[in-house]
Amino acid sequence: MSLDKETVRKIAFLARIDVPDAQLEPLAGELSGILGWIEQLRAVDTSDVEPMTSVAAMTLPWRDDVVTEGDDTARVTANAPDGQDGFYLVPKVVE
Amino acid sequence: MTKLTDLTIAEARAALEAGDTTAVALTEAHLAAVDAHEDLNAIITKTGERALEMARASDDRRKAGRRKAGRTRGALDGIPLAIKDLFCTEGVRTTAGSNILAPFVPPYESTVSANLWDAGAVMLGKANMDEFAMGSSNETSAFGGAVNPWTRAGDPETRLVPGGSSGGSAAAVAARLALGATGTDTGGSIRQPASFCGIVGLKPTYGRCSRWGIVAFASSLDQAGPMTRTVTDAALMLGAMAGHDPKDSTSAPVPVPDFAATVEQGIAGLTVGIPREYRPEEGLSPEIDAMWTRGMEMLRDAGARIVDISLPHTKVALATYYIIAPAEASSNLARYDGVRYGLRVVDEGDSLHDMYRKTRAAGFGTEVKRRILIGTYALSAGYYDAYYLKAQKVRSLIARDFRAAFDDGVDVILTPTTPSAAFPLGQEVTDPVTMYLNDVFTVPTSLAGLPGLSVPVALTGEGLPQGLQLIGRPFDEDTVLRAGRALEKAAAFTAKPTLLEG
Amino acid sequence: MDAPMDDTPAPAYVIRGDTGDWEVVIGLEVHAQVVSQAKLFSGASATFGGAPNSHVSLVDAAMPGMLPVINRVCVEQAVRTGLGLRAHINHRSVFARKNYFYADLPQGYQISQYELPVVGEGTVILDMPDGSSRAVGIERLHMEQDAGKSMHDQHPTKSFIDLNRAGVALMEIVSKPDMRSPEEAGAYLRKLRSILRYLGTCDGNMEEGSMRADVNVSVRPVGSTELRTRCEVKNVNSVRFVMQAIEVEAARHVEIWEAGREVTQETRLFDPGRGETRSMRGKEEAHDYRYFPDPDLLPLEFDDAFVEGIRATLPELPDDKKARFIQDFGLTPYDASVLVVDRREADFFEAVAQGSDGRRRDGKTAANWVISTLFGTLNKRGLGIDESPVSAENLGKLIDLIADDTISGRIAKDVYEIMVETGEAPDRIVEERGLKQVTDTGAIEAAIDAVMAANPDKVEQVRGGKEKLLGWFVGQVMKQTQGKANPGMVNELLRKKMGLLDA
């Protein structure tokens, strides 16, 4: 499996990671190397095999419908790089 | 008398109980050791004041004849520990070894660390690690690599990696900076550094320890565990860390046995499986092969039956892991976007999108970015079935292999922990896949969610420690620890890191 | 299902183009906020409003290491809704992560259901204004997290993020592309809202955003069965806007096709001010949601007993109630469908029609009073049925007073107005104000004699065959008796005195 430059640009966009143009080509080579190595999975026969969903035979636990958290604005915004009046602030989003 | 920093947890408990020492004295000795070995870069955030406070509280309790009230009744009262910087600690910076979390101070405490404090343990500081636990050498840490306190015989100048991702924890325990440390293991991150640093490391069954408050790498694989100098210490520490947590949907509602109580019970009549696929035609060094054979002999001498088994899908485990872990990571790490906490990089006039891509480009290191991109690709439209879904199916087959072996009457499986001993800093970073091969023996256990224990057994010809791995049934850490203790007794591994001798 | 079904299509909604007639194909994705105390995966309050970031837990803010644990009531509500939609309930479903970046999506993914939703195929019956019914298929219902809120008007260069909504449980209810007119889409939304409110699973409040719709629209030449490229108009927040959006979007498609161009599949926004939709392209183009099962959660599983336990608590739903009203009270399908929209209104009607002593009143009369008179009053005053100044008991009594000839229909209108103003019981009003109908033959005869004596010429005309003038006489007599005379008696006696009766 070989990744081209454009594909790397696309996935870097999806992942919101800035990759300078000059690095796209070398990165494509590197990722292709890893994916090439992963190709060995194709040889494994997985017909009639269910994908693994959990390690142990467990069932999903449910919580009661009770309000146990909140009214804690200072705590949830304490680490915010930018904030005002209890809001998180980000560069203006143009819709 | 033995130096306080040379005590095991079990010995320190006895000394505290007997009044031979105090928690404050123990803590001060370890804080001094942390300072003296700053060059190891094992601890990236020291919490000396808090440590002394916790130690004083422990001594006060003991003086007053009181025990910690919690579930574990003060099992670790007064025991100083290092905490991997992946565990969120309330009021103490938690970085996950990443620039993107460099300014982050959690307003909450992880369940596992809270359990330890509930058992009376003392926090010395936060241990260095590979960024977001992605790495096998600790070199991906944004705070510089931790250093292995061991060096090759006759080559004290070449600094070696402590392994990873829990490299700081392993180095700290090996170098006597802490009596024990927490680690986390996703594909080998406890067991591989334990082997590299000559200590004991246990990855419990997935679901045994709560993941709540541990910075996530790969949710279906991440599991916290103890890193100690003896098997008994690992049993003591696991007992305090483990337990069902309703805040983690994948935490198992199973009771926590008293592991330390059964660890000395021996292994007479136990069946030990030796998987032939871990002895690849090429790759496994004759030296490690020989060490493995010695391990079998030790267990046989202790009364176990040794049988050959087959785990046919072993060879594709690593490739499976390198789809599943990056895929989950690509999603888990999306929350580091510079909006609510952590690093934010933004310039005048930047859009939200600019902020995202700049923050994440500056905040994540090379290996983390590489894995996010691989994971993003593996989940993207048109590739999901070929990569992620395929890998989850192969994972089922890998788990099935182990189940078949245990169904056939095998109680525990013995393998080498790593294909090689510790290597020099800066050596292997050029080719990611070569680095990934470090985890070839530990990854299958992780994919199957099984408990895996690394026990140091001997030094290699180069004078470096090497561990063997014991793998058990789900939630049968008990048997794994008993077998580990038998191995430990037989191996009588007493060598100390070279750096401590000079 | 007992409601009468009409298989002939509703009067077609046709767009007349230059090249011929076009029909519109509509499917709706409705996001309905689940009624619950806490959020879907955290213990923070799901209540609307609140100070910024006050209904936010560490999980909702996606702090490192935080994990989701599902709320039992949200699961029950989804299953309850599925049962209300006569849908297949999946005993095993899977939560998946939908990955994308947005300022008010803290995790960088939304926990949703993708391949295996909790509810599968079902049906909603539409009640059309002409009294006919139409079935619209439900494709699926799945649970997912709501996002937070971004505000863009507070600051010249910054957006403000409030996560109070983030993590609140939503049900996404996806219809099949079964609707063919804006009216049907409107009827579907109203019916869905009615069902959700009956079930108590969503308050259906579109203004507060607890119910909003994404509208899928495409067009095709009448008679064709192909499905052409559709566009999705996102986040429309009222029934009226949904209908308008369909109209303008369908017209836009026809124009494009007729110009020989192709409609591009895309997401659009409806601008009610300008009455047009506009493209959100660019934002959408690069999306690749990378769905995968959420590894923090196991599959959602429950057994038959769980489902049956919920089924046992279901209320009578609008369709069943409608059928019963038609059957038991002899209502027209249209009247019945109007009355059952709101459960409390239906209960009100039933209390009026049923009578407290078990004596059933005339259903059609009761329906008329409730729909035409009472609903009119409530509408004019902006009141809900719970705030009605006229109680069901009193409205029932009023109907009784007409039925037993205590008052005339005309007087009843006056009595009703007094009831609205004072809230008093009708019998008391009639008593106190002396509005009782005059049935005393002597009194009525006297009044007739007086009117006839004063208008001999008109009497002559009637007797000469101009019977139409009789109505005028009735009016005069009623005037003379302040409306209290029994009109039937007046009529009969007049005819007798005029010599128009055979008897």
A17 near C CB under 8 A = no
Tell whether A31 is covered by a domain. Answer: yes
B-chain residues within 8 Å CB-CB of A94?
Answer: 351
Confidence of residue C4 (pLDDT cuts 50, 70, 90): very low
Q: Which of B277, B376, B400, B436 should we substitute to test contact with A (largest number of A Cβ atoms within 10 Å)?
A: B376
* Chain C residue with the nearest C-alpha to that of B329: C295
- Half-sphere exposure of residue B85: CA atoms within 13 angstroms, side-chain side: 39
Is position B277 within any domain?
A: no
B352 touches chain C (CB under 8 A): yes
User: pLDDT value at position C356?
Assistant: 66
Average pLDDT value over all residues in chain B: 95
pLDDT of residue C503 exceeding 60, the answer is no
Residue B329 counted as domain residue: no
Question: Tens digit of pLDDT for each residue in C258-278?
Answer: 999 999 999 999 999 999 999
The residue among B186, B247, B392, B393 with the most chain A CBs within 10 A of its CB, best to mutate, is B393
A contact residues 56-95, partner C, Cβ 8 Å cutoff: 58-73, 75-77, 82, 84-95
pLDDT at B436: 82
Structural domain count of chain A: 1
Q: pLDDT at position C136, please?
A: 97
Number of residues that make up chain B: 502
Residue B70: what pLDDT?
Answer: 67
- Quick one: pLDDT at residue C7? 47
CA C353 – CA C361 distance, rounded (Å)? 5
- Shortest distance, CA A94 to any CA of chain B (angstroms): 9
**How close is the nearest chain A Cα to the Cα of B429, in Å?**
12
The C-alpha R_g of chain C, in whole angstroms, comes to 30
pLDDT tens per residue across span C417-445 = 999 999 999 999 988 888 887 777 888 88
Domain limits for position B183: 7-269+412-501
pLDDT at C490 over 90: no
State the average pLDDT over residues B33-50. 97
Q: Is the dihedral of CA C373, C375, C378, C379 positive or negative?
A: negative
For B163-191, what is the mean pLDDT?
98
Chain B positions in Cβ-Cβ contact with residue C66 (cut-off 8 Å)? 212-213
- Which of B107, B331, B333 lies at the smallest CB-CB distance from C97? B331
Q: Tell me the per-residue pLDDT of C186-225, one tens digit each, with 9 for 90 and over.
A: 999 999 999 999 999 999 998 888 999 999 999 999 989 9
- Average pLDDT value for residue range B328-349: 97
When pLDDT is averaged across residues C398-426 and rounded to a whole number, the result is: 91
Residues of A in contact with B208 (CB under 8 A): none
- d(Cα B229, Cα C439) in Å, to the nearest integer? 109
CA–CA dist B10, B260 (Å, integer): 10
Q: What is the pLDDT of residue C6?
A: 47
Instruction: Give me the percent of chain B exceeding a pLDDT of 90.
Output: 91
On whether residue B221 sits in a domain, the answer given is yes
User: C70 and A62: CB-CB below 8 Å?
Assistant: yes
The band of B279, judged by pLDDT with boundaries at 50, 70 and 90, is: confident
pLDDT tier for residue C1 given thresholds of 50, 70 and 90: very low
Report DSSP state, residue B417. Answer: S
Domain residue limits, chain C: 21-48+55-311, 318-432, 441-498
Q: Which of B215, B340, B356 sits opposite C101 (nearest CB)?
A: B356
What pLDDT does residue C360 have?
85
The residues, ordered by sequence, that sit 6+ positions from B260 with a Cβ below 8 Å of its Cβ are B10, B232, B235, B236, B239
Which among B211, B247, B334 is the nearest to C107, CB-wise?
B334
Q: How confident is the model over C329-352, as pLDDT tens digits?
A: 999 999 999 999 999 999 999 999
pLDDT in the model for residue C144: 98
pLDDT at position C299 is: 95
A63 contacts C73 by C-beta, under 8 angstroms: no
Which of B101, B249, B341 lies at the smallest CB-CB distance from C297?
B249
Query: Is residue B259 a contact partner of residue B481, using CB atoms and an 8 Å limit?
Result: yes
pLDDT of residue C357: 65
C52 and A73 within 8 Å at the Cβ level: the answer is: yes
Decide which of 1.10.10.410, 3.40.190.10, 3.40.50.800, 1.20.210.10 is the CATH code for C441-498. Answer: 1.10.10.410
**Domain containing residue A14:** 5-43
Tell me, what's the pLDDT at C285? 52
Would residue A26 count as lying in a domain? Answer: yes
Query: 3-state DSSP call for residue C292?
Result: strand
pLDDT for the residue C479: 86
CB B344, CB A83: distance < 8 Å: no
Taking only the tens place, the pLDDT of each residue in C44-58 is 999 999 999 999 999
- B 287-346 residues inside an 8 A Cβ radius of A: 313, 315-316, 319-320, 322-323, 330, 334, 337-344, 346
Residue B226 has pLDDT above 50, yes or no: yes
Q: Which of B160-169, B425-434, C266-275 has the highest mean pLDDT?
A: B160-169
Residue C314 scores a pLDDT above 70: yes
* pLDDT at C450 > cutoff 70: yes
More confident residue, B11 or A59: B11
pLDDT of residue C286: 64
**pLDDT tens digits, one per residue of B105-114:** 999 999 999 9
C282 pLDDT band, cuts 50/70/90, is: low
Looking up tokens 């108009």 gives C233
Whether C71 and C39 have beta carbons less than 8 Å apart is answered as yes
- pLDDT at residue C431 in the model: 86
Say which residues have a Cβ less than 8 Å from residue C246's Cβ, sequence separation at least 6: C24, C26, C182, C185, C215, C217, C233
Average pLDDT, chain C: 91
The reply to whether residue C73 touches residue A65, judged by beta carbons under 8 angstroms, is yes
Any domain includes A63: no
First to last CA, chain B: 20
**In whole angstroms, what is the distance from residue C150 CA to residue C344 CA?**
36
Q: A65 in a domain, yes or no?
A: no
| Tens of pLDDT, residue by residue, chain A (95 residues) | 578 999 999 999 999 999 999 999 999 999 999 999 999 999 999 999 999 877 777 889 999 999 999 999 999 999 999 999 999 999 998 76
Q: Structural domain tally of chain B?
A: 1
User: Which residues of B are known to be catalytic?
Assistant: 84, 165, 189
B128 residue type, one letter? N
Answer yes or no: do A15 and B340 touch at CB < 8 A: no
B326 is a domain residue: no
Q: Is the pLDDT of residue C3 over 50?
A: no
When CB atoms are compared, the residue of A10, A67, A90 closest to C103 is: A90
Q: Is the pLDDT of residue B66 over 90?
A: no
For residue C202, give how far its alpha carbon lies from the nearest alpha carbon of chain A (Å): 15
- Asked if residue A55 belongs to a domain, the reply is no
CATH of the domain at B450: 3.90.1300.10
Neighbours of chain A (3+ CB pairs under 8 A): B, C
The nearest CA of chain C is from the CA of B177 a distance in Å of 27
Size of interface A-B (CB pairs under 8 A): 166
Closest Cβ–Cβ partner in B107, B250, B352 for A75: B107
pLDDT given at position C354: 87
| pLDDT confidence of residue C11 | 47
Using CB atoms, which chains have 3+ pairs under 8 A with C?
A, B
Residue holding tokens 């996950």?
A: B96
More confident residue, B387 or B281: B387
- If one counts every other C-beta atom within 10 angstroms of the C-beta of residue B79, the result is 31
